[in-house]
């Protein structure tokens, strides 16, 4: 009850949760967690008071920005104290228009809307309801990554509540060691109450989603020995009709193959240095349960200058594989790209994100695609099941941005070459299916890593924002950088408040 005395009763909720608290989490796995207390600070001073009280009584806690993490306890403390930063929602633009102050309680949709009205943009998330805090502290892959680097590399200053309750402005000049650690260090060093971001001018972009019908999964399943027996069911009839539809689409030149898509992605990665007009792209394969088909989605974002008719190099090979079944590519605002991405990220389901970093090779990724097809069979009939794998290149241009203002702890080197982030990210409905889905992801991950290790293509790095709870994120930063981060943590948190008392998220 001391928190009530320290913070005032309207900021502290004991035993009964605020009405909108549960639904503010993206993933139902997080919604299942019930904290004993929720704190809603209104100021950095409130956060300071909460940290001092938590430290004094050795209470376990979690920090919530947008609540978009995908596993239990990541930003919600089971039986403990959840510090919900939603009211720390500052949005300000400096007088000179160069710096944007953004509170951790903001979500990216509102951030883009606010700064777009002022003719500015910041490097941020790609989904409207993703929170600012966790995204920026985990590095941040953005639509503007190839132009400006990681989102975290565009933070000029952090306003941070440290373990002793002090409030500090942390930047390259004031605290270069802590500034370095915060750029990818998650919540291990303090609670950020405001981010000062680089603000840029940005006109329209050319981009959108391009969905391609794949004609080869059925044949590939047959080659893999996967058989789906005949059934007198409506689903079997629908799936049979959909296969007939794919054959018609193929005759009309409106389908492609997984092989063509994968080879096109490889060409894009190899050609990326020759095209400075594009900002980001990725390739996703998803299984649609009712029709029983696998489709491919290519999302791309380019500068609208030069005009799209000039056919940017990075899109040439994808254009050569045939017209997509559905395309939204157009000249538009960056905010509209984020809004378009929202229907692919609907809250209120159960999710797993599991990340593997690799050096891309089309032949090997074709084998990974076949492993994905095999693993679909184990979970395809679970209610609401939506298996997906996503391949996102992390270009050399993005990694070079790591040197900005002292760099960050990710530990990339000039010898890494083009690398990619592979996300295994299924979605499903029921809690009773959790273990089956986790086992499926574990099998696919293990087989993929064994294959990549064998081919010499596995990279040690793990992207924090797409990692699952079973992954050791900071081991991927390299032994030297992890050791440096531990030393910095001991310096600013000698009592281990953020290590001992915050058990739910990744630990240095």
CA distance 407 to 386: 37
Which residue stretches of 121-274 are H helix? Answer: 132-137, 145-148, 176-182, 217-223, 234-251, 258-271
Tell which residue, 64, 40, 152, has the closest CA to residue 505.
64
Indicate the DSSP class of residue 329.
-
Range(s) of the domain holding residue 10? 2-84
User: Do 97 and 76 fall into the same domain?
Assistant: no
Q: Which range, 25-29, 265-269, 277-281, 306-310, has the best average confidence (pLDDT)? A: 25-29
- What is the predicted pLDDT for the residue at 452? 98
The whole-number pLDDT of residue 318 equals 54
352 and 464: one domain?
yes
Residue 504 lies in a domain: no
381 and 427 within one domain: yes
Residues 38 and 124 in one domain: no
Cβ(84)–Cβ(61) below 8 Å: no
Domain termination site, one of 203, 223, 246: 203
Bridge partners of 281? 300
Give per-residue pLDDT as tens, 142-152: 999 888 889 99
**Which pairing describes strands 205-213 and 191-198: parallel, antiparallel, or unpaired?**
unpaired
Q: Is 481 domain-assigned?
A: no
Quick: pLDDT tens for 412-432: 887 887 899 999 999 999 999
Q: Label residue 319 by pLDDT band (50, 70, 90).
A: low
CB-based burial of residue 90 (10 Å sphere; 0-12 exposed, 13-18 middle, 19+ buried)?
Answer: middle
Count CB neighbours of 5 within 10 A.
11
Strand pairing partners for 357? 421, 459
Q: Helix 258-271 to helix 313-320 angle, to the nearest 10 degrees?
A: 160
Contact 72, 29 (CB under 8 A): yes
pLDDT value, residue 316? 45
CA dist 123 → 40, 85, 348, 377, 465 (Å): 27, 21, 27, 39, 16
pLDDT value of position 192:
98
Out of 21, 52, 84, pick the residue that ends a domain: 84
Residue 254 pLDDT = 85
115 and 211 both lie in a single domain: no
**Mean pLDDT for all residues in the chain:** 92
The whole-number pLDDT of residue 307 equals 55
CATH number of the domain enclosing 38:
3.30.43.10
Average pLDDT of span 76-91: 97
CATH code assigned at 95:
3.30.465.10
CA pair distance 426, 396, nearest whole angstrom:
29
How far is it, in rounded angstroms, from Cα 295 to Cα 288? 8
pLDDT at 438: 98
Q: E-strand spans in 289-418?
A: 293-303, 326-327, 330-332, 350-351, 354-358, 388-394
Residue 150 lies in a domain: yes
Are 57 and 98 in a shared domain? no
pLDDT at 308 over 70: no
pLDDT higher than 80, residue 102? yes
In a domain, 195, yes or no: yes
Residue 275 sits in the same domain as residue 373: yes
Q: In residues, how long is the chain?
A: 508
For 197, list phi and psi in degrees, rounded to 5.
-110, 150
> Once rounded to an integer, what is the mean pLDDT over residues 110-120?
96
pLDDT of residue 139: 93
H or E element in which residue 366 lies: helix 362-379
The pLDDT, as a whole number, for residue 314 is 47
Does the pTM surpass 0.75? The reply is: yes
Token pair belonging to 228: 């789906």
The domain total for the chain is 3
Summarised one tens digit per residue, pLDDT across range 355-400 is: 999 999 999 999 999 999 999 999 999 999 999 999 999 877 666 6
Calpha distance 289→293 (Å, rounded): 7
Pair (212, 277) in one structural domain? yes
Torsion 485-489-492-494 (CA) sign: negative
Whether 446 and 364 map to the same domain: the answer is yes
pLDDT band at 274 (very low <50, low <70, confident <90, very high): low
CA distance 264 to 378: 29
Domain end position, chosen among 29, 63, 84: 84
Domain-located, residue 230: yes
268 and 372 housed in the same domain: yes
- Can you give the CATH number for the domain in which 447 is found? 3.40.462.20
- Does the structure show a pLDDT above 50 at 69? yes
492 within some domain: no
Beta carbons within 10 angstroms of residue 423's beta carbon: 21
Same structural domain, 353 and 306: yes
- Report the percent of the chain where pLDDT is more than 70: 95
* pLDDT > 90: percent of the chain: 78
Query: Which of 231-245, 411-425, 493-507 tops mean pLDDT?
Result: 493-507
- Is 488 within a domain? no
Q: Does residue 36 share a domain with residue 110?
A: no
Q: How confident is the model at residue 313 (pLDDT cuts 50, 70, 90)?
A: very low
């Amino acid at each position: 009850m001391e928190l009530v005395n320290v913070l005032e009763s309207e900021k502290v909720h004991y035993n009964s949760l605020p009405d909108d608290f549960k639904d503010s989490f993206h993933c139902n796995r997080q919604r299942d967690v019930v904290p004993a207390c929720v704190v809603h600070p209104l100021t950095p001073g409130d956060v300071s008071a909460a940290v001092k009280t938590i430290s004094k009584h050795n209470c376990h806690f979690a920090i919530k920005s947008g609540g978009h993490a995908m596993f239990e306890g990541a930003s919600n403390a089971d039986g403990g104290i959840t510090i919900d930063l939603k009211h720390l929602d500052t949005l300000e633009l400096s007088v000179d228009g160069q710096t944007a102050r953004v509170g951790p309680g903001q979500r990216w949709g509102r951030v883009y809307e606010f700064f777009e009205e002022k003719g500015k943009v910041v490097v941020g998330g790609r989904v409207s309801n993703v929170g600012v805090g966790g995204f920026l502290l985990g590095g941040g892959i953005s639509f503007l990554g190839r132009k400006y680097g990681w989102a975290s590399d565009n933070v000029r200053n952090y306003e941070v509540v440290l373990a002793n309750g002090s409030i500090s402005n942390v930047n390259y000049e004031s605290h270069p060691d802590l500034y370095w650690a915060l750029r990818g260090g998650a919540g291990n060093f303090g609670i950020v109450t405001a981010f000062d971001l680089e603000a840029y001018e940005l006109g329209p972009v050319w981009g959108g989603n391009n969905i391609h019908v794949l004609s080869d999964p059925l044949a590939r399943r047959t080659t893999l020995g996967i058989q789906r027996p005949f059934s007198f069911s409506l689903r079997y009839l629908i799936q049979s009709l959909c296969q007939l539809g794919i054959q018609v689409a193929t005759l009309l030149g409106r389908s492609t193959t997984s092989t063509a898509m994968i080879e096109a992605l490889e060409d894009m990665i190899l050609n990326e240095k020759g095209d400075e007009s594009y900002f980001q792209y990725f390739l996703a394969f998803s299984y649609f349960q009712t029709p029983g088909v696998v489709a491919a989605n290519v999302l791309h974002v380019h500068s609208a200058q030069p005009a799209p008719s000039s056919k940017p190099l990075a899109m040439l090979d994808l254009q050569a594989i045939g017209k997509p079944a559905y395309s939204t590519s157009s000249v538009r605002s960056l905010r509209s790209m984020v809004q378009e991405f929202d229907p692919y990220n609907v809250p209120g389901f159960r999710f797993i994100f599991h990340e593997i970093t690799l050096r891309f090779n089309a032949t090997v990724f074709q084998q990974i695609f076949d492993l994905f097809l095999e693993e679909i069979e184990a979970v395809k009939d679970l209610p609401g099941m939506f298996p997906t794998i996503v391949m996102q290149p992390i270009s050399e241009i993005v990694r070079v941005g790591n040197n900005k203002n002292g760099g960050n702890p990710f530990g990339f080197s000039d010898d890494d070459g083009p690398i990619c982030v592979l996300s295994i990210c299924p979605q499903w409905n029921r809690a009773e299916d959790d273990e089956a889905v986790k086992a499926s992801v574990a099998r696919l991950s293990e087989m993929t890593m064994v294959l990549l290790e064998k081919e010499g293509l596995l990279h040690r790095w793990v992207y924090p924002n797409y990692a699952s709870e079973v992954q050791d994120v900071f081991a991927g930063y390299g032994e030297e950088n992890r050791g440096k981060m531990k030393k910095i943590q001991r310096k600013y948190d000698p009592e281990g408040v953020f290590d001992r008392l915050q058990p739910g998220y990744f630990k240095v």
